[in-house]
Amino acid sequence: MTRLRVALCQINPLVGDLDANATKIIRLLNDAEEAGCDLAVFTELAITGYPPEDLVLKPGFVADNQAALAKVAAASGRCAAVVGCIDEDVDLYNAAAVCAFGEVRGVYHKQDLPNYSVFDEKRYFAPGRGATQLWSIGGVRVGVSICEDAWSPSGPIAEQGAAGAELVVNINGSPYYADRMHERRQMLATRAADASLHLVYVNQVGGQDELVFDGGSMVFAPDGRMVASMPQFEEGMGVVDLDVRPVYRKRLLDPRGHRASAPLPCVEVTGEPRHASDSGRAEPPMARTKTPEQEVYGALVVGTRDYVDKNGFSDVVIGLSGGIDSSIVAAVAVDALGPARVHGVAMPSRYSSDHSLNDAEELARRLGIDFRTVPIEPAHSALLGMLAASFVGRSEDLTEENLQSRIRGVVLMALSNKMGWMVLTTGNKSEAAVGYSTLYGDTAGGFAVIKDVTKTMVYRLSRWRNEQSEVIPPGVLTKPPSAELRPDQRDDQSLPPYEVLDPILEAYVESDMTADELVAAGFDEELVRRLVRLVDVAEYKRRQTPPGVRVTPKAFGKDRRVPITNGYK
């Protein structure tokens, strides 16, 4: 039996900041060296940050990435490091470099390139040509794989296991969506058990535009048991000792009749392990499982914090209506940035109710944020007067309602320009789906925090947040949702209850069901036809909205690419 000490280095890189990323990697590699580790595992494309997108098309960027990798390799010592990078060899490859004793000892090229959902790796990279070698690290035969490689039952992990690997590391840039952790655990446990080897999975953490990477790195034993796990949404390093025993007998006697492949060549990287099998063991990290609300809320906080900080904004400003959406956005912003960096603005009109204004002010007080009131009635009256001659003979309609929203957008953008604050918009996925938003009004801003959160989930998140500390006034949770753009307006006057609406939207948007399929599934036909039409005609609006945190398997934007000009009804 050989005991191998492994460091799981779950980092939050900044895409394109090659020097800062390399410095972060070197710091953690030094920490792993001091902890007596034999192997430190970093994330997919850790040098560049993931995903680098069209930066990859710049030859200078690729060259600078290789120079940054050289710095990391030069800093390596007895503790070997597996580091994600771009490799150039006629083609470009999504690669993992194995470094030790001041040099790169070998490179693995990702084989299975995802080209679906938010992924388009075939635009940038060539696929690797199969397993070509293993690496001997601390006396253990180690295979390397990258992200999507793990999802194929007959892919690189199975190949490397059959060819003699005792441990496979899998480095990842795997974006978060709700319940993703459960899917990963099931898949990784199966890969480890099928290949009869230890499996180390290390995932990136942090926000990158609309994507959030949740970390949650894990280690699995050859029988499929999870023996270590890192927290979600937190940067850090975890150390685990693995007792590696010979596994060839199990492979030879596999009842499924799997045959061992010819052994792969094994490159010597480091010698004997640094810890004898009878020495003290490192206590493996074992993170607590989060509830669905904890997960989604954590993703919103990390996504908001990193979008604001990585883009160099000091503060944010939010229009506070006294409603549930702006309340949860404000709570997320405070948890992400701290109350001193969050500013709330109430912008009452002639239709704003006293209880909404009171709730907005009370929310700001509970959160401890700056709060100001900018009435929009003077601008509203002035615009109505300016347009009166053009509107003669036409009754009031959505035009007058939308004017109010657009005035509020102007106020928030003026504060943004003057103060340097980023505007956080407050629209949710349910409203965006059916077009219940005003272009250049409530869609105006820099980041849409709850863009991918349904209205029913907004309520769940708000209740969960109040269980931690009651920051959202009770009246916000109990009053009927309303835009307050006309007298006595309520959302349920033009939309079904959100408990009815959201399942239809989820089936149509995320599951790609047609209207006929929805009706066949038991949804009301008249309602389905109306909602489907609303979703379809609002596509042009969604194309003009700011990015927001992705928390579902199919968010508007990169996930769902429906043509605006579209004759399929």
Hey, which residues are catalytic here? 44, 110, 147
Which residues in 90-177 belong to E strands, given as ranges?
91-100, 103-109, 134-137, 140-146, 167-172
Give the contacts of 525 (CB within 8 A, at least 6 positions apart). Answer: 519
* Helix pair 455-468, 292-310: axis angle to 10 deg: 90
17, 82, 486 from 399: Cα distances, Å: 45, 58, 11
Yes or no: say if 422 and 316 are a contact pair by the CB < 8 Å rule.
yes
List b or e across 112-132, with b for residues whose CB sees 16 or more CB atoms inside 10 angstroms: bbeeeebbebeebbbebeebe
Query: Cα–chain-centroid distance for residue 562?
Result: 22
Yes or no: say if 219 and 200 are a contact pair by the CB < 8 Å rule.
yes
Identify which of 257, 316, 304, 327 has the alpha carbon closest to the alpha carbon of residue 476: 327
* β pairing state of 422-425 and 316-319: parallel
Q: What single letter denotes the amino acid at residue 411? A: V
* Helix pair 324-337, 455-468: axis angle to 10 deg: 50
Cα gap 349→284, rounded to integer Å: 57
Count of residues for the chain? Answer: 569
Residue 136 backbone phi and psi in degrees, to 5: -90, 110
**Residue 378, both tokens:** 């003077």
Identify which of 382, 349, 377, 376 has the alpha carbon closest to the alpha carbon of residue 484: 349
Helix ranges, 221-313 (H): 248-252, 292-310
**Residue 228, both tokens:** 């270590």
User: H or E stretch including 282?
Assistant: none
Cα gap 548→538, rounded to integer Å: 17
Residue 133 burial class via C-beta count within 10 angstroms: exposed 0-12, middle 13-18, buried 19 and up: middle
Using DSSP's 3-state secondary structure scheme, residue 19 falls into: helix
